[in-house]
Structure 1
Amino acid sequence: MDINDFKGTIKPFFWIEHNNSFSVCLNAGDYKPEIFETRAEEGFEGNGYDWASLAQVFLDEKKPDLNEDIKFDPEAGMFCTYSSNAESLKEFISEFKKICEDDTKIQDLFSRAELD
């Protein structure tokens, strides 16, 4: 897949290339806030840390073979994941984005996310 086509399929996540690594980020709060509202009373806000918790559940349960390659570096306003392996990161974010678009599946994963 052409890199520009790939970038389009993962929106609103965005791809960044560095010298020796690759990142995918998301402006937290702009995408799927309704997911986090279901557990707001527990302290979830939809910030970058909450997204990282959700993404970690996805990684552990759906893509455990990528656990060595995928790392998270969230901030309050931004979710960020990175890797030195571009193909692993592309696979992760492509599959994670598909799950995010399926309300039933994403809510199921989110039910096991832990507040950071």
Structure 2
Amino acid sequence: MGDFKENIKPFFWVENISSTSVCLNTGSFKPEIFETRADEGFEGNGYDWTSLAKVFLDERYADLTDKVKFDPEAAMFCAYSSDPDALKTFIIAFKEACENETLIQDVFSRAELD
């Protein structure tokens, strides 16, 4: 679990009694993703990250769409699930995608402003 938490940074893992969450304080991680569509109103806030994550989930991990839910705020992206393994699968893949500029820009091109 230690390596896992290290590997998903700056996302952070939160275990609660009934569900597990993975969150991100927005603003400092990969702002350049959202700058490409700033003229459309994207700011890189929690809602924008959720729009991006939903497209990624729908296209790449459709089998997890019923298990991974989102609860964003302006300054925070947050995904949660009662199935920690599903959430772990999602966040590892999503973080990896965010590190791949070409892939994440392609996914982001289909994100819709919330």
TM-score interval for Structure 1 and Structure 2 normalised by the shorter chain? over 0.9
CA distance in 2, matches of 1:57, 1:31: 19
1:18 deviation in Å?
0.2
> Match of 2:29?
31
Percentage identity across aligned positions? 68
Partner secondary structure for residue 96 of structure 2: helix
- CA distance in 2 between partners of 1:5 and 1:19 (Å): 23
- For 1:41 and 1:20, the matched residues in 2 are separated by 40
1:65 aligns with 2:69: no
In 2: Cα distance, 1:17 partner to 1:107 partner:
30
What is the rounded CA distance, in whole Å, between the counterparts of 1:12 and 1:30 in structure 2? 9
2:41 to 43, 66, 69: 43
Instruction: Give the alignment's Cα RMSD to 1 decimal.
Output: 0.4
CA distance in 2, matches of 1:29, 1:63: 25
| SS in structure 2 at match of 1:79 | strand
Structure 1 segments, 4+ long, off by >3 Å, are none
> Where does structure 2 lack aligned partners over 5 or more consecutive residues?
none
TM-score, normalised by the number of residues in structure 2: 0.99
For 1:1-116, what aligned pairs fall within 5 Å after superposition? 3-116=1-114
Q: Which runs of 5+ in 1 are unaligned?
A: none
Q: Deviations over 1:46-84 (max 9, x none)?
A: 000000000000000000000010000000000000000
Q: C-alpha distance in 2, partners of 1:67/1:79?
A: 17
TM-score (norm 1): 0.97
Report the Cα offset of residue 97 of structure 1. 0.5
